[in-house]
Amino acid sequence: MADNTHIMDVTLRDGSYAINFQFSQYETEEICKKLYRAGIKYIEIGHGMGLDASSPMNGEALCTDEEYLMAARKSVPEARYGMFCIPTYAKLDSIRKMKEMGASFVRVGSNVTEVESTASYIQEAKKAGLEVMANYMKSYVVSPAVFAENVKKSESYGADVVYIVDSAGSMCRDEIERYYDAIRKASNIKIGFHGHNNLGLAVSNSLFASDLGFDFIDASILGMGRSAGNAALELYIGNLMRNFDETGYNLKEILDCSEKFVRPLWKHNANALDLYCGIAEFHTSYMKFIHKYAAKYRVNPLDLILLYSRYDKVNLDEKKLEEIAASMNKEEDCILTDFGFNEYIGNEQRN
């Protein structure tokens, strides 16, 4: 593990997908306290899709952005807490308000193919005095060389950190290393890794990334998060303890937080749709369309995911998806209620 690697806890942001964005101010305060006592200095909070995203279309959070920020400021004023931001939804003025309420950082997320959309947001955040992290969703859909060119764009906008984001939980170690090497040839900017667990690799990939020298590793308590979840914080730290004499983290504090505040909210089981999204590099925010056309044409949604991903792994062309579904063989004995489509919420991808 590199000495300068920081853990970014995302329980209270990415984890909110798992409970329909219903973290309360009380839970935000208590989980922040526990994380900070455990040695976690970077804590991300708020609606899973970020600033100004709460809405009937995207899912309404229990609290406002301001209330979440107030909870963090009240409980851990000395921590570095912040929020996510997607240009589709966030207002530039909200970034300024974040800073006024004590936030230290903002993470600006875009598809890796749409980095230019983040320019004004990164520039505004830098002007406000925030640490800025550019998160490249679906990082794997462009080559390492193209990724590195995007890094130079984000750096020119003012980003302090760029993130490799394994949105579908599909990446393996050699891929991560190729992207890391390409970035390092182009820039000395700090690098983060955000892994999902569709193929069960989030913790091992995160440990590998920290060994490579990544500056930030994302994790959440119990791996709570969108789709198959993230790298589990307690497993990541447990592995560090297995291999290093001193980690600087108090695992018992995290486990106590897990049992008191997280496990009662989230009892996650393996899901076939999550697994196939990992295999196909398909983003789960499009699952409502898979459900719609698998039901209309009585086809297996797992096969539909695989077939559509051969066409496009970034965006969802509804007309093309229906065309593919209509061409598939019917499976009358495929019971769609078995797949748990109701577990998928959020609408962070434009359509």
Q: Sorting pLDDT into bands at 50, 70 and 90, what band is 339?
A: confident
Of 205, 232, 262, at which residue does a domain stop?
Answer: 262
In 3D space, the residue among 209, 165, 192, 211 whose CA is nearest the CA of residue 314 turns out to be 165
At 187 the pLDDT is 97
Any domain includes 348: no
Q: What is the mean pLDDT of the segment spanning 248-274?
A: 89
DSSP H helices in the chain:
25-37, 65-75, 92-100, 119-128, 144-157, 173-186, 202-212, 233-243, 251-257, 272-280, 287-297, 301-309, 318-327
For residues 97 and 155, membership in a common domain is answered with yes
pLDDT above 90 as % of the chain: 87
Q: Looking at residue 333, what is its pLDDT?
A: 80
- The residue-averaged pLDDT of 191-215 equals 97
pLDDT (mean) for 267-292: 88
The two tokens of residue 345 are 């919420």
The structure tokens listed for 256 are 């106590």
CATH assignment at residue 178: 3.20.20.70
pLDDT of residue 310: 95
Q: Which helix (H) or strand (E) holds 82?
A: strand 80-85
User: Which of 213, 236, 262 is the C-terminal boundary of a domain?
Assistant: 262
Burial class (CB in 10 A: 0-12, 13-18, 19+), 237: buried
The answer to whether residues 199 and 286 belong to one domain is no
pLDDT band at residue 271 using 50, 70 and 90 as cut-offs: confident
Residue 51 has pLDDT above 80, yes or no: yes
Residues 312 and 223 grouped into a single domain = no
6, 133 contact by CB (below 8 A): no
pLDDT in tens, 131-190: 999 999 999 999 999 999 999 999 999 999 999 999 999 999 999 999 999 999 999 999
Question: Which range has the worst mean pLDDT, 248-262, 307-321, 337-351?
Answer: 337-351
* 208, 113, 307, 144: CA torsion to nearest 10: -40
343: pLDDT confidence band, cut at 50, 70 and 90? Answer: confident
pLDDT at 149: 98
pLDDT at 92: 96
Q: Return the CA Rg of the chain.
A: 19
Same domain, 65 and 204: yes
Mean pLDDT of the chain: 94
247 and 321 share a domain? no
Query: Quick one: pLDDT at residue 347?
Result: 80
Question: 3-state SS of the chain: helix, strand, coil percent to 5?
Answer: 50, 15, 35
Domain around 204: 6-262
Number of domains observed in the structure of the chain: 2
**What is the tens place of the pLDDT at every residue in 3-28?**
689 999 999 999 999 999 999 999 99
Task: Output the pLDDT for position 4.
Answer: 83
Q: Which two tokens stand for residue 210?
A: 């920290």
Bridge partner residues of 194 (DSSP):
165
pLDDT score recorded for residue 350: 62
Q: Are residues 303 and 233 in the same domain?
A: no
Q: What is the pTM of this model?
A: 0.92
Buried b (16+ CB within 10 A) or exposed e, 290-317: bbebbeebebbbbbbbebbbeeebebbe
351 has a pLDDT exceeding 60: no
Q: Looking at 262, 296, 327, which one is the last position of a domain?
A: 262
Q: For the chain, report the end-to-end CA distance as a whole number of angstroms.
A: 40
For residues 127 and 239, state if they share a domain.
yes
Q: How confident is the model over 212-232, as a mean pLDDT?
A: 96
Q: Are 142 and 169 found together in one domain?
A: yes
Please check the confidence at residue 279 and state whether its pLDDT lies above 60.
yes
> What integer is the mean pLDDT of 261-270?
82
pLDDT above 90: residue 47: yes
Say if CB 217 and CB 210 are below 8 A apart.
yes
Residue position matching structure tokens 């490579």? 212
**Each residue of 93-136: pLDDT tens digit?**
999 999 999 999 999 999 999 999 999 999 999 999 999 999 99
In terms of domains, do 248 and 280 share one? no
